[in-house]
Structure 1
């Protein structure tokens, strides 16, 4: 089976929004043993939509079309599909009734423009959208089934999981048994990881894939077939040993997810004091439900006065060593931990840029500390030629990894491949 995806919308084509739907879809398909062969992005122009539907339907077996099912004039997917087939749009009375019910339940009067969302090509089969107003549909053109979904992410995802995936599995038969394991890495580039792992001899049916989403590279170990699945655990562990310190989590998409999983309902507590990361560490943890079970506080002590008054950092320390220094960040971590007697505290202080650096402490210099009940660990990292945003993200990730290693009973401060460290 050859599966493709067509993404529609000027805002997607122009880069005004990031197409997270496409990444999510490809990942879900891969986890179900189905690979997306091609993805095309096309703007809201009727002739272009007609052309791409006609052209790709000659080559694919199934095409997931995302977007263009709204009520406005620039939503043209249904009209373009009807013209590609040379047939009219037909009003679906059942969906009109659904629309009226939806607006009534929400205490609103339905605009006439929403009737457009109940119009689909004459030969199309209506596909339920249980959480939105746009009617999905599927239709056969040339060799391909084109499956139309709205662009709203929560509508799209539910339709893919409940409608599209079962349709593909029923229409094209069961795929081979598959399994997938994921390793999260920090501090190495994708090409560097690939060069090292290419030398490994992999069993038949096991392939490697890479996904870059800074500051991480995710390694996907994909097994197809029972024999490959039985070898998956051994191969994954072999890769982990080969890469050493750069592997920071397994089956997680970020270190904040790993830390949340470790601390949630553990009885342990954490405080955070941030300067250059500006609340990023705290915000990433608060994104997970239940973080209140372990997170005592997150303090953004950006100014020196705040470091002194809130965290108890010595003015003399700041005078002698500066805000971006090991002594200062260690006192920040101790002070944050002591405020509520937390089990752990993380602290960051650095120069995220693009200005503010010096010859001694250039932009990208960040001091990070972890305070525990037994003492304080600290390090100064160097992140030259990174954007302000990436300096903050890498710094937060390194802080998480220090805590993760402490929880595992491992060395807290380690060398990564592409993250420099100042000698202590």
Structure 2
């Protein structure tokens, strides 16, 4: 089975918007054990669309086409597909009635331009869109099925789950079995991880893959076929022995979601206060991306200058004078100050020099101090984040802080050794 994707839209091709649909779709296919063979992006030009539909139909079994189903003149997917088939467009009466009902139900006028969305290639099979007015459809050309979906993410994702995946499984019920395992790692670069894993004997039909998204690297183990799937558990244990100390999640794509899950899955509520300086609220923002974070996150204080550190968190003036804002002593007082104000179980603090200016010989740009305090204990460290720019330094700082909390929640030592992060204390 060969599945491809054609992404349409001038704004996508020119880089005006990031094609999140394509990234999401590829990931969903992998989660279902399906590998996408190719992805092509084409602009809103009729002949270009016709050409790519015809050309790829000679190579793929199924092609998902995303975008170009709206009511405006630059939405050309249906027209291009009709011309590729050498047939006219025809009104789909069922979809016209659906649209008229949708607009009436939502007390909105239906403009004449919307009728375009009911015009499909004559041989098309309508694909229902349960959350929008853009009609999906599928057409067979040169032995390939082209499956058309709207570009609006909510509509697209709904149709992939409810329409596209069932169609794929119906068309290829005997497709080769696959199994995918993904682990999120932190603390080692792609080359360092590859060095460890290259020494292993990889069973036949198991592929080891890497996806870097600073400051993390995702490890993918893909087994194709029943024999490879049977060999996967033993090989997984070998991988875990080789790089397990770098794995921060075996179930989620972000470290923040792993920490969120650890906090919300506990039998008793564990509460957290944050005190951030150089990260400017990044840790809090990462956690509140997930519903239910109010269960444990009591507060997040951004104390950017020294006055705020003293007034909001109770950092002693003598601490700042003697040790500076980027020090074990300062972040320990920041963390305890945040924790004690609302009597939370943990306090987590970060203070650092994100650059590009502000560094000194003793504390160069990239120097970051972090502290985690519980009701009974304090863990603190100063690290030197890799110099890859202000944003990257803040991202690494955020990841180290979250990993300290993750380790503490698991009963492990929050202070860890990371391959690409130097610990200065």
Q: What is the TM-score normalised by the length of structure 1? A: 0.96
Q: Are positions 1:132 and 2:139 aligned together?
A: no
CA offsets 1:68-100 (integer angstroms, 9 cap, x no match): 111112111111111112211111111111111
Contact between 2:348 and 2:401, CA under 8 Å: does it hold in 1?
Answer: yes
Partner of 1:109: 109
Partner of 2:398: 396
Q: Are positions 1:420 and 2:422 aligned together?
A: yes
Deviates more, 1:401-410 or 1:350-359: 350-359
Runs of 4+ in structure 1 over 4 Å off? none
Instruction: Give the drift of 1:208.
Output: 1.6
> Superposed, which structure 2 residues align to 1:65-214 within 5 Å?
65-214=65-214
Partner of 2:382: 380
**CA–CA distance in 2 between the matches of 1:86 and 1:220?**
43
**Residues matched between the structures, number:** 423
Unaligned runs of 5+ in 2: none
Contact between 1:245 and 1:414, CA under 8 Å: does it hold in 2?
Answer: no
**CA–CA distance in 1 between the matches of 2:375 and 2:231?**
41
- 1:316 equivalent among 311, 315, 318: 318
Partner of 1:329: 331
Q: Are positions 1:57 and 2:57 aligned together?
A: yes
Partner of 2:308: 306
**CA–CA distance in 1 between the matches of 2:67 and 2:401?**
39
SS in 2 for 1:248: strand
Contact between 1:85 and 1:141, CA under 8 Å: does it hold in 2?
Answer: yes
**CA–CA distance in 1 between the matches of 2:174 and 2:21?**
24
Unaligned runs of 5+ in 1: none
CA offsets 1:28-58 (integer angstroms, 9 cap, x no match): 2122222111111111111211111111111
Alignment RMSD: 1.5
**CA–CA distance in 2 between the matches of 1:330 and 1:344?**
12
**CA–CA distance in 2 between the matches of 1:189 and 1:52?**
38
**CA–CA distance in 2 between the matches of 1:45 and 1:217?**
38
**CA–CA distance in 2 between the matches of 1:198 and 1:18?**
34
Instruction: Give the drift of 1:265.
Output: 5.2
CA offsets 1:207-246 (integer angstroms, 9 cap, x no match): 2222222221111112233343333333223212201432
Deviates more, 1:392-401 or 1:192-201: 192-201
CA offsets 1:133-182 (integer angstroms, 9 cap, x no match): 10001101112111100111111111111111111111122323332222
- 1:360 equivalent among 331, 355, 362: 362
CA offsets 1:372-413 (integer angstroms, 9 cap, x no match): 122211111212431222222211111111111112222211
Contact between 1:265 and 1:294, CA under 8 Å: does it hold in 2?
Answer: no
**CA–CA distance in 1 between the matches of 2:213 and 2:174?**
32
**CA–CA distance in 1 between the matches of 2:153 and 2:393?**
29
